[in-house]
Chain A
Amino acid sequence: MSMTIAEKILADHSGKKEVRPGEYVWARIDGTAIGLSTPSQLAKSNVDKFWDPDRVYAVEDHYALPPTSDAANFSVSVRQIVKKYGVKNFFEYGRHGIAHEIYPQNGYVSPGDLIASVDSHTTSYGCFNVAACGINEEAPYVLANGQLWFRVPSTIKFVITGEYPGPDKFIVGMDIMLRILGEYGSTVGLYRSVEFHGPAVHEMSMASRFSIANLGAEIGAKFAIFPCDEKTLAFLDGKMKRPPNPVSPDPDAHYEAIHHIDLTHMPPYVACPHDPSNSVPVSDVEPKHVKIDQAFIGSCTSGRKEDFEMAARILQGRKVHNDVRLIATPASQLVWRECLREGIWETFADAGALVTHSGCGLCGGWHMGLLGDGEVSISTTPRNFQGRQGSPTASIYLANAATVAASAIEGYITDPREFL
Protein backbone atom coordinates (compact mmCIF):
# COMPACT_ATOMS: atom_id res chain seq x y z
CA MET A 1 0.00 0.00 0.00
CA SER A 2 1.08 3.57 -0.53
CA MET A 3 -1.53 5.90 0.83
CA THR A 4 -1.66 9.38 2.35
CA ILE A 5 -3.52 10.06 5.61
CA ALA A 6 -6.74 11.08 3.82
CA GLU A 7 -6.60 8.05 1.53
CA LYS A 8 -6.16 5.74 4.52
CA ILE A 9 -9.04 7.31 6.46
CA LEU A 10 -11.39 7.25 3.44
CA ALA A 11 -10.44 3.62 2.66
CA ASP A 12 -11.00 2.62 6.27
CA HIS A 13 -14.39 4.36 6.39
CA SER A 14 -15.64 2.93 3.09
CA GLY A 15 -14.65 -0.68 3.77
CA LYS A 16 -11.92 -0.73 1.16
CA LYS A 17 -8.31 -1.86 1.35
CA GLU A 18 -7.12 0.92 -0.85
CA VAL A 19 -8.48 4.06 -2.51
CA ARG A 20 -6.91 6.35 -5.08
CA PRO A 21 -7.38 10.08 -5.85
CA GLY A 22 -10.33 10.66 -8.17
CA GLU A 23 -12.19 7.57 -6.97
CA TYR A 24 -15.68 8.06 -5.50
CA VAL A 25 -16.65 6.35 -2.24
CA TRP A 26 -19.54 6.26 0.17
CA ALA A 27 -17.96 6.59 3.59
CA ARG A 28 -19.11 6.13 7.17
CA ILE A 29 -19.11 9.40 9.18
CA ASP A 30 -17.87 9.45 12.80
CA GLY A 31 -19.44 12.74 13.81
CA THR A 32 -21.66 15.54 12.56
CA ALA A 33 -23.36 18.57 14.04
CA ILE A 34 -26.45 20.76 13.92
CA GLY A 35 -25.40 23.83 11.94
CA LEU A 36 -26.93 27.15 11.00
CA SER A 37 -28.92 25.75 8.08
CA THR A 38 -29.91 22.48 9.72
CA PRO A 39 -33.15 23.52 11.47
CA SER A 40 -34.73 24.82 8.27
CA GLN A 41 -33.41 21.83 6.29
CA LEU A 42 -34.77 19.33 8.81
CA ALA A 43 -38.14 21.11 8.89
CA LYS A 44 -38.46 20.49 5.13
CA SER A 45 -37.10 16.92 5.26
CA ASN A 46 -38.67 13.63 6.26
CA VAL A 47 -35.83 12.71 8.65
CA ASP A 48 -37.58 11.29 11.70
CA LYS A 49 -34.56 9.99 13.56
CA PHE A 50 -30.79 10.41 13.57
CA TRP A 51 -28.60 7.42 12.74
CA ASP A 52 -26.72 7.85 16.05
CA PRO A 53 -27.79 10.83 18.21
CA ASP A 54 -24.68 10.41 20.39
CA ARG A 55 -22.47 11.30 17.40
CA VAL A 56 -24.45 14.47 16.71
CA TYR A 57 -23.35 17.63 18.57
CA ALA A 58 -25.14 20.95 18.86
CA VAL A 59 -24.38 24.45 20.08
CA GLU A 60 -25.57 27.89 19.08
CA ASP A 61 -22.35 29.80 18.47
CA HIS A 62 -22.92 32.24 15.59
CA TYR A 63 -25.62 34.26 17.34
CA ALA A 64 -24.67 33.70 20.97
CA LEU A 65 -26.55 35.53 22.46
CA PRO A 66 -29.53 36.18 20.14
CA PRO A 67 -29.62 39.87 19.11
CA THR A 68 -33.13 39.75 17.59
CA SER A 69 -36.32 37.80 18.12
CA ASP A 70 -35.70 36.05 14.78
CA ALA A 71 -32.33 34.88 16.07
CA ALA A 72 -33.94 33.83 19.34
CA ASN A 73 -36.44 31.77 17.37
CA PHE A 74 -33.52 30.12 15.59
CA SER A 75 -31.96 29.24 18.97
CA VAL A 76 -35.30 27.81 20.04
CA SER A 77 -35.39 25.64 16.91
CA VAL A 78 -31.94 24.22 17.78
CA ARG A 79 -33.13 23.31 21.29
CA GLN A 80 -36.28 21.71 19.82
CA ILE A 81 -34.17 19.54 17.50
CA VAL A 82 -31.97 18.53 20.43
CA LYS A 83 -35.03 17.38 22.38
CA LYS A 84 -36.86 15.79 19.47
CA TYR A 85 -33.94 13.72 18.20
CA GLY A 86 -32.36 12.92 21.57
CA VAL A 87 -29.09 14.82 21.13
CA LYS A 88 -27.25 14.69 24.47
CA ASN A 89 -24.19 16.71 23.45
CA PHE A 90 -25.84 20.13 23.43
CA PHE A 91 -24.08 23.05 25.08
CA GLU A 92 -26.41 25.69 26.48
CA TYR A 93 -25.33 29.34 26.82
CA GLY A 94 -22.95 29.57 29.76
CA ARG A 95 -21.50 26.15 28.92
CA HIS A 96 -21.16 27.04 25.26
CA GLY A 97 -18.47 28.15 22.86
CA ILE A 98 -17.61 27.95 19.20
CA ALA A 99 -18.45 24.43 18.02
CA HIS A 100 -14.93 23.69 16.81
CA GLU A 101 -13.49 24.66 20.18
CA ILE A 102 -15.84 22.87 22.56
CA TYR A 103 -16.75 19.72 20.61
CA PRO A 104 -13.22 18.19 20.82
CA GLN A 105 -13.18 19.09 24.52
CA ASN A 106 -16.24 16.85 24.85
CA GLY A 107 -15.33 13.72 22.94
CA TYR A 108 -16.38 14.68 19.41
CA VAL A 109 -13.18 13.46 17.75
CA SER A 110 -10.57 10.74 18.04
CA PRO A 111 -7.50 10.47 15.80
CA GLY A 112 -8.33 8.58 12.60
CA ASP A 113 -11.94 9.86 12.47
CA LEU A 114 -13.87 11.11 9.45
CA ILE A 115 -15.97 14.15 10.39
CA ALA A 116 -18.47 16.06 8.23
CA SER A 117 -20.05 19.06 9.96
CA VAL A 118 -21.98 22.11 8.82
CA ASP A 119 -19.47 24.99 8.83
CA SER A 120 -16.51 25.60 6.56
CA HIS A 121 -14.01 25.69 9.43
CA THR A 122 -14.69 22.06 10.26
CA THR A 123 -11.21 21.51 8.78
CA SER A 124 -9.99 22.59 12.26
CA TYR A 125 -10.33 19.04 13.62
CA GLY A 126 -7.50 18.05 11.30
CA CYS A 127 -5.13 19.20 14.05
CA PHE A 128 -6.20 16.04 15.91
CA ASN A 129 -5.16 13.71 13.04
CA VAL A 130 -8.75 13.69 11.78
CA ALA A 131 -10.10 14.00 8.22
CA ALA A 132 -12.72 16.71 8.71
CA CYS A 133 -14.58 18.80 6.16
CA GLY A 134 -17.45 21.25 6.00
CA ILE A 135 -20.80 20.33 4.50
CA ASN A 136 -24.17 22.04 4.30
CA GLU A 137 -26.90 20.76 2.01
CA GLU A 138 -25.97 17.15 2.86
CA ALA A 139 -26.60 17.59 6.59
CA PRO A 140 -30.07 15.96 6.75
CA TYR A 141 -28.75 13.03 4.72
CA VAL A 142 -25.76 12.54 7.04
CA LEU A 143 -27.94 12.92 10.13
CA ALA A 144 -30.29 10.21 8.85
CA ASN A 145 -27.76 7.81 7.36
CA GLY A 146 -24.35 8.43 8.93
CA GLN A 147 -22.80 8.18 5.47
CA LEU A 148 -21.76 10.55 2.72
CA TRP A 149 -20.22 10.44 -0.76
CA PHE A 150 -16.68 11.63 -1.23
CA ARG A 151 -14.35 12.03 -4.14
CA VAL A 152 -10.97 10.86 -2.87
CA PRO A 153 -8.81 13.99 -3.01
CA SER A 154 -5.21 14.15 -4.09
CA THR A 155 -2.89 15.18 -1.27
CA ILE A 156 -0.29 17.92 -1.00
CA LYS A 157 2.20 18.24 1.81
CA PHE A 158 3.71 21.22 3.61
CA VAL A 159 6.97 20.31 5.35
CA ILE A 160 7.63 22.89 8.06
CA THR A 161 11.25 23.21 9.16
CA GLY A 162 13.47 25.65 11.03
CA GLU A 163 13.02 26.86 14.56
CA TYR A 164 9.37 27.50 15.44
CA PRO A 165 9.29 31.03 16.94
CA GLY A 166 6.10 30.44 18.93
CA PRO A 167 4.06 32.68 21.23
CA ASP A 168 7.17 33.81 23.16
CA LYS A 169 8.29 35.59 20.00
CA PHE A 170 4.78 36.63 18.92
CA ILE A 171 4.82 34.37 15.85
CA VAL A 172 2.34 31.49 15.90
CA GLY A 173 0.39 29.07 13.73
CA MET A 174 -1.80 31.80 12.27
CA ASP A 175 1.30 33.52 10.83
CA ILE A 176 2.45 30.31 9.17
CA MET A 177 -0.89 29.92 7.43
CA LEU A 178 -1.11 33.61 6.47
CA ARG A 179 2.35 33.18 4.95
CA ILE A 180 1.21 30.07 3.04
CA LEU A 181 -1.84 32.04 1.82
CA GLY A 182 0.38 34.91 0.68
CA GLU A 183 2.98 32.72 -1.02
CA TYR A 184 0.82 29.95 -2.47
CA GLY A 185 -2.58 31.63 -2.86
CA SER A 186 -6.11 30.75 -1.85
CA THR A 187 -6.47 27.75 -4.19
CA VAL A 188 -3.31 25.76 -3.36
CA GLY A 189 -5.43 23.32 -1.38
CA LEU A 190 -8.52 23.40 -3.60
CA TYR A 191 -10.31 19.99 -3.50
CA ARG A 192 -7.17 18.56 -1.92
CA SER A 193 -6.19 17.02 1.35
CA VAL A 194 -3.34 19.02 2.86
CA GLU A 195 -0.91 17.39 5.30
CA PHE A 196 1.44 19.29 7.61
CA HIS A 197 4.69 17.58 8.52
CA GLY A 198 8.23 18.46 9.58
CA PRO A 199 10.00 18.96 12.89
CA ALA A 200 8.49 22.40 13.57
CA VAL A 201 4.98 20.90 13.59
CA HIS A 202 5.80 18.94 16.72
CA GLU A 203 7.13 22.06 18.47
CA MET A 204 3.78 23.79 18.10
CA SER A 205 1.07 23.83 20.73
CA MET A 206 -2.28 22.27 19.86
CA ALA A 207 -3.67 25.84 19.73
CA SER A 208 -1.30 26.78 16.91
CA ARG A 209 -1.94 23.54 15.02
CA PHE A 210 -5.64 24.29 15.40
CA SER A 211 -5.19 27.73 13.80
CA ILE A 212 -3.39 26.18 10.83
CA ALA A 213 -5.93 23.41 10.25
CA ASN A 214 -8.72 25.96 10.71
CA LEU A 215 -7.27 28.22 8.01
CA GLY A 216 -7.05 25.16 5.76
CA ALA A 217 -10.54 26.26 4.69
CA GLU A 218 -9.02 29.49 3.32
CA ILE A 219 -6.69 27.60 0.95
CA GLY A 220 -9.67 25.61 -0.30
CA ALA A 221 -8.67 22.37 1.44
CA LYS A 222 -11.07 19.49 1.88
CA PHE A 223 -8.99 18.21 4.79
CA ALA A 224 -6.05 19.86 6.63
CA ILE A 225 -4.39 17.10 8.62
CA PHE A 226 -1.60 16.93 11.19
CA PRO A 227 0.20 13.81 12.36
CA CYS A 228 -0.74 12.42 15.78
CA ASP A 229 1.95 12.84 18.44
CA GLU A 230 2.16 12.84 22.24
CA LYS A 231 0.75 16.40 22.38
CA THR A 232 -2.32 15.31 20.43
CA LEU A 233 -2.96 12.38 22.73
CA ALA A 234 -2.24 14.41 25.87
CA PHE A 235 -4.79 17.03 24.77
CA LEU A 236 -7.46 14.42 24.01
CA ASP A 237 -6.70 12.21 27.03
CA GLY A 238 -9.83 11.62 29.08
CA LYS A 239 -12.01 13.40 26.52
CA MET A 240 -12.33 10.83 23.72
CA LYS A 241 -15.37 8.57 23.40
CA ARG A 242 -13.72 6.23 20.90
CA PRO A 243 -10.21 4.77 21.12
CA PRO A 244 -7.68 6.72 19.04
CA ASN A 245 -6.62 5.19 15.75
CA PRO A 246 -3.64 7.38 14.76
CA VAL A 247 -2.96 7.46 11.02
CA SER A 248 0.42 8.11 9.41
CA PRO A 249 1.04 8.29 5.68
CA ASP A 250 2.85 5.35 4.11
CA PRO A 251 6.52 6.08 3.37
CA ASP A 252 5.86 5.77 -0.36
CA ALA A 253 2.54 7.67 -0.32
CA HIS A 254 2.02 9.81 -3.41
CA TYR A 255 1.80 13.60 -2.99
CA GLU A 256 0.63 15.82 -5.81
CA ALA A 257 3.06 18.47 -4.52
CA ILE A 258 5.44 18.91 -1.60
CA HIS A 259 6.12 22.46 -0.36
CA HIS A 260 8.83 23.39 2.14
CA ILE A 261 8.31 26.21 4.64
CA ASP A 262 11.42 27.29 6.53
CA LEU A 263 10.51 29.28 9.65
CA THR A 264 14.01 30.72 10.11
CA HIS A 265 13.76 34.54 10.33
CA MET A 266 10.02 34.44 9.67
CA PRO A 267 8.13 37.65 10.63
CA PRO A 268 4.50 37.96 11.73
CA TYR A 269 2.13 38.27 8.75
CA VAL A 270 -0.85 40.49 8.00
CA ALA A 271 -3.56 39.79 5.40
CA CYS A 272 -4.73 43.02 3.75
CA PRO A 273 -8.29 43.65 2.48
CA HIS A 274 -10.29 41.91 0.99
CA ASP A 275 -8.88 38.37 0.79
CA PRO A 276 -6.86 36.25 3.22
CA SER A 277 -4.36 35.59 0.43
CA ASN A 278 -3.42 39.31 0.29
CA SER A 279 -0.95 38.46 2.99
CA VAL A 280 2.45 40.08 3.57
CA PRO A 281 4.97 40.46 6.41
CA VAL A 282 3.81 43.03 8.98
CA SER A 283 6.94 45.05 8.21
CA ASP A 284 5.49 45.76 4.74
CA VAL A 285 2.31 47.23 6.25
CA GLU A 286 3.70 49.13 9.25
CA PRO A 287 5.35 51.96 7.25
CA LYS A 288 1.95 52.77 5.72
CA HIS A 289 0.64 53.81 9.19
CA VAL A 290 -2.71 52.10 8.62
CA LYS A 291 -4.92 53.66 11.32
CA ILE A 292 -7.42 51.30 12.90
CA ASP A 293 -10.79 51.89 14.51
CA GLN A 294 -11.34 48.42 15.90
CA ALA A 295 -9.11 45.55 17.03
CA PHE A 296 -10.56 42.10 17.63
CA ILE A 297 -9.09 39.01 19.28
CA GLY A 298 -11.20 35.88 19.05
CA SER A 299 -12.86 33.38 16.66
CA CYS A 300 -12.26 29.71 15.92
CA THR A 301 -8.93 30.68 14.35
CA SER A 302 -7.32 32.48 17.30
CA GLY A 303 -9.54 32.69 20.38
CA ARG A 304 -7.63 30.46 22.81
CA LYS A 305 -5.62 31.06 25.96
CA GLU A 306 -2.35 31.07 23.97
CA ASP A 307 -3.68 34.00 21.94
CA PHE A 308 -5.00 36.05 24.88
CA GLU A 309 -1.82 35.37 26.88
CA MET A 310 0.31 36.76 24.04
CA ALA A 311 -1.89 39.83 23.79
CA ALA A 312 -1.89 40.34 27.58
CA ARG A 313 1.93 40.50 27.62
CA ILE A 314 1.68 43.51 25.30
CA LEU A 315 -1.28 45.12 27.08
CA GLN A 316 0.30 44.75 30.54
CA GLY A 317 0.80 48.22 32.02
CA ARG A 318 -0.35 49.96 28.82
CA LYS A 319 -3.57 51.56 27.55
CA VAL A 320 -5.47 50.94 24.33
CA HIS A 321 -5.10 53.95 22.00
CA ASN A 322 -7.77 56.63 22.45
CA ASP A 323 -9.15 56.17 18.94
CA VAL A 324 -9.33 52.38 19.13
CA ARG A 325 -11.72 49.88 20.66
CA LEU A 326 -10.17 46.48 21.48
CA ILE A 327 -12.66 43.62 21.75
CA ALA A 328 -11.79 40.17 23.12
CA THR A 329 -14.15 37.24 22.57
CA PRO A 330 -12.87 33.88 23.82
CA ALA A 331 -13.63 30.83 21.70
CA SER A 332 -15.45 29.08 24.55
CA GLN A 333 -16.57 29.59 28.13
CA LEU A 334 -13.78 27.16 29.04
CA VAL A 335 -11.22 29.57 27.56
CA TRP A 336 -13.08 32.43 29.28
CA ARG A 337 -12.65 30.73 32.66
CA GLU A 338 -8.97 29.86 32.04
CA CYS A 339 -8.23 33.49 31.22
CA LEU A 340 -10.24 34.68 34.22
CA ARG A 341 -8.34 32.43 36.63
CA GLU A 342 -4.96 33.47 35.26
CA GLY A 343 -5.65 37.18 35.53
CA ILE A 344 -5.58 37.74 31.76
CA TRP A 345 -8.94 39.50 31.75
CA GLU A 346 -7.74 41.83 34.49
CA THR A 347 -4.91 42.91 32.21
CA PHE A 348 -7.35 43.43 29.35
CA ALA A 349 -9.72 45.43 31.56
CA ASP A 350 -6.91 47.59 32.98
CA ALA A 351 -5.79 48.39 29.43
CA GLY A 352 -9.30 49.58 28.55
CA ALA A 353 -10.26 46.57 26.41
CA LEU A 354 -13.71 45.05 26.23
CA VAL A 355 -14.04 41.35 27.09
CA THR A 356 -17.23 39.63 25.95
CA HIS A 357 -18.74 36.20 26.54
CA SER A 358 -17.60 33.42 24.18
CA GLY A 359 -18.87 32.62 20.69
CA CYS A 360 -18.16 33.46 17.07
CA GLY A 361 -18.45 37.12 18.05
CA LEU A 362 -18.18 39.66 15.28
CA CYS A 363 -16.16 37.44 12.90
CA GLY A 364 -18.99 36.57 10.53
CA GLY A 365 -20.82 39.87 10.89
CA TRP A 366 -23.75 38.25 12.66
CA HIS A 367 -24.01 40.78 15.47
CA MET A 368 -22.09 42.57 18.21
CA GLY A 369 -19.25 44.85 17.16
CA LEU A 370 -19.84 45.33 13.44
CA LEU A 371 -17.97 47.95 11.42
CA GLY A 372 -19.46 51.18 10.08
CA ASP A 373 -18.84 52.82 6.72
CA GLY A 374 -15.15 53.30 5.96
CA GLU A 375 -13.97 51.86 9.27
CA VAL A 376 -10.77 49.82 9.52
CA SER A 377 -10.37 46.74 11.66
CA ILE A 378 -7.52 44.40 12.51
CA SER A 379 -8.75 41.02 13.57
CA THR A 380 -7.54 37.50 14.41
CA THR A 381 -10.39 36.00 12.38
CA PRO A 382 -10.13 33.68 9.36
CA ARG A 383 -11.70 35.87 6.64
CA ASN A 384 -11.58 39.47 5.54
CA PHE A 385 -13.99 39.31 2.62
CA GLN A 386 -15.57 42.64 1.71
CA GLY A 387 -18.67 43.31 3.79
CA ARG A 388 -18.10 40.37 6.12
CA GLN A 389 -17.98 42.31 9.40
CA GLY A 390 -20.56 44.97 8.69
CA SER A 391 -20.38 47.78 6.14
CA PRO A 392 -19.22 46.87 2.61
CA THR A 393 -16.98 49.95 2.68
CA ALA A 394 -15.12 48.81 5.82
CA SER A 395 -11.65 47.26 5.57
CA ILE A 396 -10.51 44.21 7.51
CA TYR A 397 -6.90 43.22 8.13
CA LEU A 398 -6.09 39.77 9.57
CA ALA A 399 -3.22 39.11 11.98
CA ASN A 400 -2.26 37.17 15.09
CA ALA A 401 -3.36 38.26 18.58
CA ALA A 402 -0.02 39.93 19.40
CA THR A 403 -0.10 42.06 16.24
CA VAL A 404 -3.71 43.01 17.02
CA ALA A 405 -2.81 44.00 20.60
CA ALA A 406 0.26 45.98 19.49
CA SER A 407 -1.84 47.77 16.87
CA ALA A 408 -4.54 48.54 19.46
CA ILE A 409 -1.92 50.22 21.67
CA GLU A 410 -0.31 52.25 18.87
CA GLY A 411 -3.48 53.06 16.93
CA TYR A 412 -2.10 51.78 13.63
CA ILE A 413 -0.92 48.38 12.34
CA THR A 414 2.23 47.61 14.29
CA ASP A 415 4.86 44.85 14.42
CA PRO A 416 4.38 43.20 17.84
CA ARG A 417 8.08 42.39 18.08
CA GLU A 418 8.62 46.02 19.14
CA PHE A 419 7.04 44.93 22.44
CA LEU A 420 9.35 41.97 23.05
Chain B
Amino acid sequence: MIFEGKVWKFGDNINTDLIMPVKAVQMYKSQNNPQEIASQFCMSTNRPGWAQQVQEGDIIIAGTNWGCGSSRPVSRMIKALGISVIVAESIARLFFRNSINIGLPALTCVGIVAAFDEGEIARVNIETGEVHNLSTGIAIQGEALPADSPPMQILKAGGLSHIKLGT
Protein backbone atom coordinates (compact mmCIF):
# COMPACT_ATOMS: atom_id res chain seq x y z
CA MET B 1 0.00 0.00 0.00
CA ILE B 2 2.02 2.92 -1.33
CA PHE B 3 0.53 6.36 -1.91
CA GLU B 4 2.03 9.34 -3.71
CA GLY B 5 0.47 12.74 -3.67
CA LYS B 6 0.61 16.46 -3.06
CA VAL B 7 0.83 17.53 0.57
CA TRP B 8 -1.62 19.76 2.44
CA LYS B 9 -0.37 20.78 5.89
CA PHE B 10 -2.43 21.33 9.03
CA GLY B 11 -1.46 22.25 12.61
CA ASP B 12 -2.20 20.68 15.99
CA ASN B 13 -5.62 19.74 17.45
CA ILE B 14 -7.60 19.86 14.20
CA ASN B 15 -10.87 18.75 15.76
CA THR B 16 -14.02 17.09 14.46
CA ASP B 17 -16.06 20.32 14.61
CA LEU B 18 -13.60 21.79 12.08
CA ILE B 19 -13.45 18.69 9.85
CA MET B 20 -17.19 18.06 9.96
CA PRO B 21 -19.27 20.91 11.44
CA VAL B 22 -22.62 19.89 12.86
CA LYS B 23 -24.41 21.23 9.76
CA ALA B 24 -22.47 18.69 7.72
CA VAL B 25 -23.39 15.90 10.15
CA GLN B 26 -27.05 16.81 9.83
CA MET B 27 -26.94 16.98 6.02
CA TYR B 28 -24.89 13.79 5.82
CA LYS B 29 -27.76 11.95 7.45
CA SER B 30 -30.51 13.43 5.37
CA GLN B 31 -28.87 13.59 1.94
CA ASN B 32 -26.14 11.00 2.13
CA ASN B 33 -23.83 12.64 -0.41
CA PRO B 34 -20.47 12.88 1.35
CA GLN B 35 -18.51 14.49 -1.49
CA GLU B 36 -20.82 17.46 -1.94
CA ILE B 37 -21.15 17.99 1.80
CA ALA B 38 -17.42 17.60 2.40
CA SER B 39 -16.44 20.16 -0.21
CA GLN B 40 -18.95 22.62 1.18
CA PHE B 41 -18.19 22.26 4.90
CA CYS B 42 -14.89 20.49 5.64
CA MET B 43 -12.52 23.02 7.34
CA SER B 44 -14.88 25.85 6.37
CA THR B 45 -14.29 27.46 9.79
CA ASN B 46 -10.49 27.35 9.90
CA ARG B 47 -9.56 27.21 6.20
CA PRO B 48 -12.39 28.39 3.95
CA GLY B 49 -12.01 27.32 0.34
CA TRP B 50 -9.54 24.52 1.06
CA ALA B 51 -11.95 21.64 0.52
CA GLN B 52 -12.70 22.77 -3.03
CA GLN B 53 -8.99 22.71 -3.93
CA VAL B 54 -8.27 19.13 -2.86
CA GLN B 55 -7.44 16.77 -5.73
CA GLU B 56 -7.90 13.02 -5.81
CA GLY B 57 -4.87 11.36 -4.20
CA ASP B 58 -3.69 14.37 -2.16
CA ILE B 59 -2.16 13.70 1.25
CA ILE B 60 -2.74 15.44 4.59
CA ILE B 61 0.20 16.01 6.90
CA ALA B 62 -0.78 17.31 10.33
CA GLY B 63 0.49 18.03 13.83
CA THR B 64 -0.55 16.43 17.10
CA ASN B 65 -4.00 15.13 18.06
CA TRP B 66 -5.40 15.14 14.51
CA GLY B 67 -9.17 14.48 14.55
CA CYS B 68 -9.78 14.98 18.26
CA GLY B 69 -13.36 15.31 19.51
CA SER B 70 -16.54 13.55 18.47
CA SER B 71 -17.16 10.06 17.12
CA ARG B 72 -18.96 11.57 14.10
CA PRO B 73 -17.91 10.02 10.77
CA VAL B 74 -15.27 12.63 9.89
CA SER B 75 -13.01 10.18 8.10
CA ARG B 76 -15.79 9.81 5.50
CA MET B 77 -15.48 13.54 4.80
CA ILE B 78 -11.72 13.29 4.31
CA LYS B 79 -12.09 10.22 2.09
CA ALA B 80 -14.88 11.86 0.08
CA LEU B 81 -12.59 14.79 -0.74
CA GLY B 82 -10.16 12.35 -2.35
CA ILE B 83 -7.46 12.35 0.34
CA SER B 84 -5.54 9.08 0.05
CA VAL B 85 -3.76 8.98 3.42
CA ILE B 86 -3.28 11.06 6.58
CA VAL B 87 0.11 11.28 8.25
CA ALA B 88 0.24 13.10 11.59
CA GLU B 89 2.47 13.58 14.62
CA SER B 90 -0.33 11.91 16.59
CA ILE B 91 -3.89 10.90 15.75
CA ALA B 92 -6.92 10.93 18.08
CA ARG B 93 -8.11 7.38 18.65
CA LEU B 94 -11.65 7.77 17.32
CA PHE B 95 -10.35 9.28 14.08
CA PHE B 96 -7.77 6.53 13.78
CA ARG B 97 -10.30 3.76 14.33
CA ASN B 98 -12.95 5.32 12.07
CA SER B 99 -10.36 5.79 9.37
CA ILE B 100 -8.96 2.26 9.48
CA ASN B 101 -12.42 0.75 9.74
CA ILE B 102 -13.57 2.44 6.50
CA GLY B 103 -10.28 1.59 4.78
CA LEU B 104 -8.65 5.04 4.83
CA PRO B 105 -4.98 4.71 5.91
CA ALA B 106 -3.77 6.90 8.77
CA LEU B 107 -0.15 6.84 9.89
CA THR B 108 1.41 8.22 13.05
CA CYS B 109 4.85 9.67 12.29
CA VAL B 110 6.73 11.79 14.78
CA GLY B 111 8.73 14.54 13.03
CA ILE B 112 6.53 14.61 9.93
CA VAL B 113 5.55 18.29 10.22
CA ALA B 114 9.19 19.45 10.03
CA ALA B 115 9.90 17.15 7.08
CA PHE B 116 7.39 18.73 4.69
CA ASP B 117 6.31 22.06 3.30
CA GLU B 118 2.88 22.37 1.78
CA GLY B 119 2.72 21.48 -1.89
CA GLU B 120 5.64 19.05 -1.79
CA ILE B 121 5.14 15.48 -2.96
CA ALA B 122 5.02 12.67 -0.40
CA ARG B 123 5.32 8.94 -0.88
CA VAL B 124 3.81 7.00 2.01
CA ASN B 125 4.31 3.26 2.46
CA ILE B 126 1.66 2.09 4.90
CA GLU B 127 3.10 -1.39 5.33
CA THR B 128 6.62 -0.27 6.25
CA GLY B 129 5.69 3.11 7.76
CA GLU B 130 8.25 4.92 5.58
CA VAL B 131 7.45 8.42 4.35
CA HIS B 132 9.57 10.03 1.63
CA ASN B 133 9.58 13.66 0.67
CA LEU B 134 10.09 13.28 -3.07
CA SER B 135 10.58 17.03 -3.43
CA THR B 136 13.54 17.20 -1.01
CA GLY B 137 14.73 13.61 -0.72
CA ILE B 138 14.14 13.47 3.04
CA ALA B 139 12.96 10.12 4.44
CA ILE B 140 11.27 9.63 7.79
CA GLN B 141 10.04 6.55 9.63
CA GLY B 142 6.45 6.32 10.93
CA GLU B 143 4.84 3.74 13.19
CA ALA B 144 3.87 0.89 10.88
CA LEU B 145 1.03 -1.34 12.01
CA PRO B 146 2.11 -4.98 12.51
CA ALA B 147 1.32 -7.04 9.38
CA ASP B 148 -0.83 -9.50 11.31
CA SER B 149 -2.68 -6.88 13.39
CA PRO B 150 -6.44 -6.43 12.95
CA PRO B 151 -6.11 -2.81 11.73
CA MET B 152 -3.64 -3.82 9.01
CA GLN B 153 -5.84 -6.73 7.96
CA ILE B 154 -8.85 -4.41 7.91
CA LEU B 155 -7.01 -1.80 5.81
CA LYS B 156 -5.93 -4.45 3.31
CA ALA B 157 -9.49 -5.76 3.09
CA GLY B 158 -10.77 -2.24 2.42
CA GLY B 159 -12.63 -1.81 5.71
CA LEU B 160 -14.16 -3.66 8.63
CA SER B 161 -17.32 -4.54 6.71
CA HIS B 162 -15.18 -6.88 4.57
CA ILE B 163 -13.77 -8.76 7.57
CA LYS B 164 -15.07 -12.01 8.99
CA LEU B 165 -15.41 -12.33 12.75
CA GLY B 166 -12.01 -12.36 14.48
CA THR B 167 -10.77 -15.06 16.76
Task: Give bound CA distance, A110 to B154, whole Å.
Answer: 31
Contact B71 A35 (CB under 8 A): yes
Contacts of B101 in A (CB 8 A): 137-138, 141
Q: How far is the CB of B71 from chain A (nearest CB, A)?
A: 4
Contact with B along A121-149 (1 / 0, CB 8 A): 01000000000011111101100010101
Contact B71 A190 (CB under 8 A): no
From A141, A149, A386, B18 is in contact (CB under 8 Å) with A386
Contact with B along A362-387 (1 / 0, CB 8 A): 00111000000000000000010111
Contact A134 B90 (CB under 8 A): no
Contact A387 B71 (CB under 8 A): no
From A24, A73, A122, A186, B149 is in contact (CB under 8 Å) with A24
Contact B45 A37 (CB under 8 A): no
Contact B73 A70 (CB under 8 A): no
Contacts of B144 in A (CB 8 A): none
Contact A386 B166 (CB under 8 A): no
Contact with A along B55-95 (1 / 0, CB 8 A): 00000000011001111110100000000000000101110
Are A26 and B166 also in contact (CB < 8 A) when A136-B98, A190-B65, A383-B69 are? yes
B158 within 8 A of A: no
Contacts of B26 in A (CB 8 A): 70-71, 366
Question: Is the contact region of chain A dominated by helix, strand, or loop, or is it mixed?
Answer: loop
Contact A149 B75 (CB under 8 A): no
From A45, A140, A186, B68 is in contact (CB under 8 Å) with A186
B129 within 8 A of A: no
Contacts of A145 in B (CB 8 A): 165
Q: How many A-B residue pairs have CB under 8 A?
A: 118
Q: How far is the CB of A125 from chain B (nearest CB, A)?
A: 14
Contacts of B165 in A (CB 8 A): 26, 145, 147
Residue of B nearest to A41 (CB): B73
Task: Give bound CA distance, A136 to B97, whole Å.
Answer: 8
Interface size on A (CB < 8 Å)? Answer: 44
Residue of B nearest to A383 (CB): B69
Contacts of B146 in A (CB 8 A): 24
Q: How far is the CB of A6 from chain B (nearest CB, A)?
A: 13
Are A45 and B13 also in contact (CB < 8 A) when A73-B30, A137-B75, A190-B93 are? no
Residue of B nearest to A382 (CB): B69
Task: Give bound CA distance, A191 to B66, whole Å.
Answer: 12
Contacts of A24 in B (CB 8 A): 146, 149-151
Contact A137 B97 (CB under 8 A): yes
Contacts of B166 in A (CB 8 A): 26, 147, 149
Contact B94 A186 (CB under 8 A): no
Contact A70 B30 (CB under 8 A): yes
From B21, B71, B154, A118 is in contact (CB under 8 Å) with B71
From A73, A118, A120, A151, B69 is in contact (CB under 8 Å) with A120
A410 within 8 A of B: no
Contact A383 B32 (CB under 8 A): no
Contact with A along B91-109 (1 / 0, CB 8 A): 0111001100110000000
Task: Give bound CA distance, A40 to B93, whole Å.
Answer: 22
Are A26 and B65 also in contact (CB < 8 A) when A136-B73, A220-B93 are? no
Are A137 and B30 also in contact (CB < 8 A) when A187-B64, A385-B18 are? no
Contacts of B21 in A (CB 8 A): 365, 387
Contacts of A186 in B (CB 8 A): 13, 65, 68
Which residues of B pack against A, CB within 8 Å? 13, 15-18, 21-22, 25-26, 28-30, 32, 44-46, 64-65, 68-73, 75, 90, 92-94, 97-98, 101-102, 146, 149-151, 154, 159-161, 163, 165-167
